[in-house]
Structure 1
């Protein structure tokens, strides 16, 4: 890949939300490529903290039902919204694949936890770029309810959920990027 193609891929990555996905299955080989590319993220001391739970097919319905019920259980009656309940239920059903993004803390704690979270975030960026290259929309949701209910994902000791990665084909036009000038974010230390 030449630098121009790499820049175009990076700058073309967007959050594409499940409500815009079309009903087209994502081939298992593509999902496996997404995960394999995630596995090549940078990792200090090779802790490779990223872990994934992949939901496809009927598991997407079960995930949607579980998310809706987690929302109901965590929300006081006076704050409950049927619209939010339905949104939690439908987002997985609108997706071709949902991947739970998890992080396994190094048992020896050889690196600070933030470094393992950052490594997992780098893995997700690799996933996002791979999806973009395949014309697959994707979106990383914090899924706070899952973070507070680890039983659904059967997390191992020291493992935690950092959110859900929704994936689906879409037919949206190319979306413009929104970034402020890099010059406002850099201080050059030349002397």
Structure 2
């Protein structure tokens, strides 16, 4: 598939859509290598990843998120807690997407966030080419991850990248408006 086609065919594939097929450590390492080639201003390379690959680590993340939701939710719902807890165990791998702020603040924070997002886009596109479904979720619980895993000073979690193999074709993509309506030429 050509790159333009790959970009147009990239989709969010949710944990409920994943089958039970494993994702190998080498497949994950390949995706992480792609992430590491994202553009980065002043070469700060702010992306950091916490990989929950084993069944035990995904179950641990699931339990942590469920407990944290119960302890912090303004409006607790058992149904929402169950959905939060299911995502990591339905996935073959979960990667916490983190950003390490440059301690010298040599670039604006938004550029560090953008560089991290580009690293994730690299993984997402390559995962699509590899037949791996992915989904980036940014729940408020991400702000509590440091209570579950070690994070460096200035490091923050931007979300969770759920991954799994899936069966069947995905829906066609759509855009609400054409690019011509979003572009001004000078």
If the TM-score is normalised by the length of the shorter chain, which range does it land in?
Answer: over 0.9
Alpha-carbon shift at residue 153 of structure 1 (Å) = 2.5
Over 3 Å counting, the alpha-carbon distance change for 1:97 and 1:149 in structure 2 is: closer
Alpha-carbon shift at residue 152 of structure 1 (Å) = 1.6
Structure 1 residue corresponding to 2:153, chosen from 148, 154, 157: 157
Show structure 2 runs of 5+ residues with no match: none
Partner of 1:66: 64
Structure 2 residue corresponding to 1:32, chosen from 9, 29, 33: 29
| Structure 1 segment 5-154 matched on structure 2, within 5 A | 5-57=2-54, 58-76=56-74, 79-154=75-150
RMSD: 1.1
Show structure 1 runs of 5+ residues with no match: none
Cα distance in 2 between the residues matched to 1:90 and 1:20: 12
**Is the 8 Å Cα contact of residues 55 and 97 (structure 1) preserved in structure 2?**
yes
Alpha-carbon shift at residue 143 of structure 1 (Å) = 2.5
**Runs of 4+ deviating beyond 4 Å:** none
TM-score (norm 1): 0.93
Would you say how many aligned residue pairs link Structure 1 and Structure 2? Answer: 184
**Is the 8 Å Cα contact of residues 145 and 157 (structure 2) preserved in structure 1?**
no
TM-score (norm 2): 0.96
